[in-house]
Structure 1
């Protein structure tokens, strides 16, 4: 069976009905958790774990929480950003120390092509690759692991993570806060488009800076 993670929509799996059902139930549990009285703590835990190993992206919890409490949108986005960056540190060290053990897992869950893309981006863009990773639809955990695997300098990795993750989560919170249920209900459809649009803008900026 092959499972491919799609940001904000969990996993799309072909074959292996039991595993596909497991991921669907896991995704549904995350959505339900957004209404829990300890939702902010659960959001932080989700954002932390998603940056290194957990399959469900925090957007699916951030969006309904923002819709329910729009006056706390920026607080929820800040929690998600900080926890995601700290989780990215774990992913970095996992990649630095345990890459060989991880490669079979990356291939099994359909992450390997995304990993090679991340590795190529690091060779081409360096610091900018982490910033791109923070907003792109490619699973962020793949970039954190790849950054450690290629021994990217740690401080640029952290700086790119803060900017990239911050842009993504504050954008999601801001759009849900401004547009309400219209955007929240279609987040799964729009998040990929928004992510790639931001990536395109950043790539253009990089190209302009390199030509100057």
Structure 2
């Protein structure tokens, strides 16, 4: 099922309506969808490098708007909407464990790591932000920075290196971003508990 969803998302890049699909996928990824917008963004930016930054802005804006929707789901409709979504993805127990430990500092860290490496998935962070009552304006600013940094960095890489960087991005960027996210988590833990 996941592979079919991935292939379907990738097929949208060839359509004339690809930019709209990118916005839709980026929006729903931030609150309920499993496949990241990068799957659609990468082939679009490679086929039209002159529009890579435009696509990055579309993906960022839609992702932040989807994040706001996720925040509202968590804040106002946790039992009715968020809980069934989390149960569907098998993430409810993990979410509840995060919920008991989460504060604003933790949300900041999770938005950064999710923006860099999809760890944890952005939908978990947006819903959790609403559940624990992270101030909406702070959440929006953090989401703009985290999601914008990811898409604009990918745009820069694709504009600078083109097709050869695609394989690198698809195979290794997640690993590099995960290492950077792990370093940020370690730094956060060190500062919080050692100082």
Q: When the two structures are superposed, what TM-score results if normalisation uses the length of structure 1?
A: 0.78
Residue 6 (structure 1) aligns with: none
Give a deviation string over 1:83-120, Cα, whole Å, max 9, x none.
10011100000011221233243133132355346544
Structure 2: tracts of 5 or more residues without a match: none
Matched, 1:93 2:72: yes
> Matched residue of 2:14: which SS?
coil
Matched, 1:133 2:114: yes
With over 3 angstroms needed to count, the CA separation of the structure-2 counterparts of 1:162 and 1:198, relative to structure 1, is: farther
Residue 115 (structure 1) aligns with: 95
CA RMSD of aligned residues (A): 2.5
Question: 2:107, 2:128 → 1: CA distance?
Answer: 12
Match of 2:145 among 155, 160, 163: 163
Residue 50 (structure 2) aligns with: 71
Structure with a larger share of its residues in strand: 1
Match of 1:199 among 159, 174, 181: 181
Question: 1:173, 1:44 → 2: CA distance?
Answer: 16
Residue 144 (structure 1) aligns with: 126
Higher mean alpha-carbon deviation, 85-94 vs 110-119, is at 110-119
Matched, 1:103 2:87: no
Structure 1: tracts of 5 or more residues without a match: 1-19
Matches within 5 A, 1:13-32: 20=1, 23-32=2-11
With over 3 angstroms needed to count, the CA separation of the structure-2 counterparts of 1:123 and 1:113, relative to structure 1, is: farther
Residue 178 (structure 1) aligns with: 160
Equivalenced residue count is 191
With over 3 angstroms needed to count, the CA separation of the structure-2 counterparts of 1:126 and 1:46, relative to structure 1, is: closer
Q: When the two structures are superposed, what TM-score results if normalisation uses the length of structure 2?
A: 0.84
Give a deviation string over 1:142-176, Cα, whole Å, max 9, x none.
10001001111111111110000011111222223
